[in-house]
A and B are shown apart, each in its own frame.
Chain A
Amino acid sequence: MKRSPAFTLVELLATIAIIALLVGLLLPAVQSAREAARRARCANNIKQLGLAVLGYESSNGFLPPQGAAWEFCSLANEGLATLDVRYAEVSYLLWLMPYVEQQAIYDRGFAQELAGGVLWNGAFAEQPAILLCGSEINQGPGFRGAGCTNYRCNRGDVAAPPGRRSRGPFNEGSVRDGSGSWAPAPVQSAHIRDGLSSTVMLGESMICTPATYDTLPAGVGKLGAIDPSTAPATCWALVAGNRYSVPLSRPDFLPGSMWGRSWYDTYTSFYTNAAPNTPRCVRDYDWAAYINPVSSYHPGGAMVAMCDGSVRFVTNEIDAGDPTQPQVNNAGSTANAWSYTGASIRGVWGAMGSIRGREVVSAE
């Protein structure tokens, strides 16, 4: 038999198989290189926002208020007052806009608020690129067309209702009185007694998938009774074991559709009472989320900016205490759990989240 001057089928297949094997080996490396690039950009965003907070602090003497409300007297007189206008709960991010070269959004945003316009259009439909992480899959638009954000501020290791002093560097829902001062007063860097380099200032958080909240039947995935003492693991019990069960590493599929879906609004904070990338749950009638950890699409953890402006990657395995334990106050009762003072019961992660827990956190 005469051999033809060509490759046999087997030789060809073997070559293709080897090439496929090499591509198979290469592809994950390429993907992780792409993720590493997105992560580097993300780290840069959160660093810039952290420096912007420090810039604001230098100019004003305190950190920006979060979810702050103030009264628009003139609007009330004109009969224009609506819930949105009277309780204009703007995020810390709006105050930072001049510090990230977005003066125009700041000016237009406040003008729009003072004019009593709706809050999810105009300046608030803008999407500053610095507020989004490239690894995020829900890139917007957010709630009623608003811009979204992945970067949130730290309200400490114990959940606190709006208008109460939190244990973190940001208080929620400060109200400005007639004399122009805020209550509760925003935090100053001198108040951060645990040290600027060992206290978390900002963190990453996934943007909620639109409509997950509205499509869930009553009682599933939503917490009717949730208060600052609620144990973080309550949420685990709720989201798995039913047909909406989701991998615990994907809190984006959990309800809470306002969270992250409007950068100008009050839904831009997190707590360090639960480990990164564990589920978040909201109360079913007002979206209050007292189980609200940091989360990201980066494998293994999430990035945080510390109060000194440095950026750290916090892994999912960080010691976050026992999540099955409710928060108690100093008397050992779950009533008014937000009033707790003392060392964090949420491990190293809780210690990093509190500004004056007096815990020792070793900076590695």
Chain B
Amino acid sequence: MSGRRRALAACLLATLICGCGRRGPRVEMVEGVVVLDGKPVEAATVFFSPVTAAGEATGLPAAGRTGPDGSFRLNAGGGATPGAGTAVGDYVVTVIKQESRPVPPPDLNAPPTALPEPEIRDLLPAVYKLATTSPLRATVKPGTNTYRFELDSKPRGSPKGDR
């Protein structure tokens, strides 16, 4: 009697557990701070781009946005939980902060033309913008990873005057 009941309970439990499989890649928590000349940078986007080593890509591309204190947490794509970080691997880190100036509304008395694009301005040195020029590197390991990225408004070896 109790054996039958136990078997029944086991069946139900097994059914429940079967429905609870979680998909998505395994990620490690990645957080950090971005500072420019020692001051925290707000509303910058931090990108982790996987480094392809010997033709084999490790890691997941990920991005994070900094808050008022310059801190960020990474979100990886590919079905990973948002805000949970990214996969173990080696990364090039790029940081971008931009602002745009909206264009004035079109003159209705002129013939129709394509609307002009607003002007986009970089607020951080351009070396940090592309993976090919960024000096920032990171290695994500199992567990919580904390980084501090110190940007310099006059980076060494910077290609001609950045804003």
Interface residues in chain A, defined as those with a beta carbon under 8 Å from any beta carbon in chain B: 10, 13-14, 17, 21, 24, 69-71, 76, 81-83, 86-87, 161-164, 173, 175, 219, 224-227, 231, 233-234, 236-241, 245-249, 275, 278, 283, 285-286, 316-317, 322-326, 328, 332, 334
Interface residues of B in 79-105 (CB under 8 A from A): 79, 82-83, 94, 96, 98-100, 102, 105
How many whole Å from B63's CB to the nearest CB in chain A? 4
Which residues of B are found within 8 Å of A69, using beta-carbon distances? 112
Which residues of B are found within 8 Å of A173, using beta-carbon distances? 114-115
Known: A285-B102, A328-B130. A17 touches B12 (CB 8 A): yes
How many whole Å from A182's CB to the nearest CB in chain B? 12
The 27 listed contacts between A and B (C-beta, < 8 Å) are: A13-B8, A21-B11, A81-B108, A82-B108, A86-B112, A87-B112, A161-B115, A161-B117, A162-B114, A173-B114, A175-B112, A225-B120, A227-B117, A231-B47, A237-B64, A240-B82, A240-B83, A241-B64, A241-B72, A241-B73, A246-B82, A248-B75, A324-B47, A324-B94, A325-B131, A326-B129, A326-B130
Known: A14-B8, A233-B63. A219 touches B43 (CB 8 A): yes
0/1 interface trace, chain B 33-65, chain A, CB 8 Å (1 if under): 000000000010111111000000000011111
Which residues of A are found within 8 Å of B114, using beta-carbon distances? 161-164, 173, 175
CA gap between A245 and B61 in the complex, in Å: 18
A324 and B112 form a contact (CB under 8 A): no
A241 and B65 form a contact (CB under 8 A): yes
How many whole Å from B136's CB to the nearest CB in chain A? 12
Known: A10-B5, A248-B77. A324 touches B61 (CB 8 A): yes
Is B4 engaged at the interface, CB distance under 8 Å to the other chain?
yes
CA gap between A161 and B114 in the complex, in Å: 9
Which residues of B are found within 8 Å of A275, using beta-carbon distances? 77
How many whole Å from A252's CB to the nearest CB in chain B? 15
Which residues of A are found within 8 Å of B1, using beta-carbon distances? 10
Q: Which 7 A-B pairs have the closest CB atoms?
A: A163-B114, A240-B82, A324-B47, A225-B98, A237-B63, A233-B63, A237-B65
Is B111 engaged at the interface, CB distance under 8 Å to the other chain?
yes
Give the tally of cross-chain contacts (CB within 8 A): 139
B65 and A224 form a contact (CB under 8 A): no
How many whole Å from A69's CB to the nearest CB in chain B? 5
How many whole Å from B135's CB to the nearest CB in chain A? 16
B108 and A86 form a contact (CB under 8 A): yes
Which residues of B are found within 8 Å of A70, using beta-carbon distances? 112
Interface residues of B in 1-45 (CB under 8 A from A): 1, 4-5, 8, 11-12, 15, 43, 45
A237 and B105 form a contact (CB under 8 A): no
Point out the residue from A227, A231, A323, A326 that lies within 8 Å of B100, measured CB to CB.
A227
Interface residues of B in 102-124 (CB under 8 A from A): 102, 105-106, 108-109, 111-115, 117-118, 120-121
A241 and B83 form a contact (CB under 8 A): yes
Which residues of A are found within 8 Å of B105, using beta-carbon distances? 83
Chain B residue nearest to A72 in the complex (CB): B112
B115 and A241 form a contact (CB under 8 A): no
CA gap between A352 and B141 in the complex, in Å: 35
Which residues of B are found within 8 Å of A76, using beta-carbon distances? 108-109
How many whole Å from A265's CB to the nearest CB in chain B? 15
Which residues of A are found within 8 Å of B79, using beta-carbon distances? 248-249, 316
Point out the residue from A87, A219, A322 that lies within 8 Å of B50, measured CB to CB.
A322
Which residues of B are found within 8 Å of A246, using beta-carbon distances? 82
CA gap between A286 and B99 in the complex, in Å: 15
Which residues of B are found within 8 Å of A17, using beta-carbon distances? 8, 11-12
Known: A10-B1, A316-B79, A325-B49. A233 touches B65 (CB 8 A): no
A322 and B112 form a contact (CB under 8 A): no
A245 and B15 form a contact (CB under 8 A): no
A322 and B65 form a contact (CB under 8 A): no
Count chain B CB atoms within 10 A of each CB in A17, A24, A225, A334 and give the residue with the most: A225
A245 and B8 form a contact (CB under 8 A): no
CA gap between A324 and B62 in the complex, in Å: 7
Chain B residue nearest to A25 in the complex (CB): B15
Chain B residue nearest to A219 in the complex (CB): B43
B77 and A278 form a contact (CB under 8 A): yes
A245 and B83 form a contact (CB under 8 A): yes
Instruction: Taking A164-B114, A225-B98, A241-B83 as given, write out 8 further A-B residue pairs in contact, using a Cβ cutoff of 8 Å, ordered by the A residue number.
Output: A71-B111, A83-B106, A87-B115, A227-B100, A231-B63, A236-B77, A236-B82, A285-B102
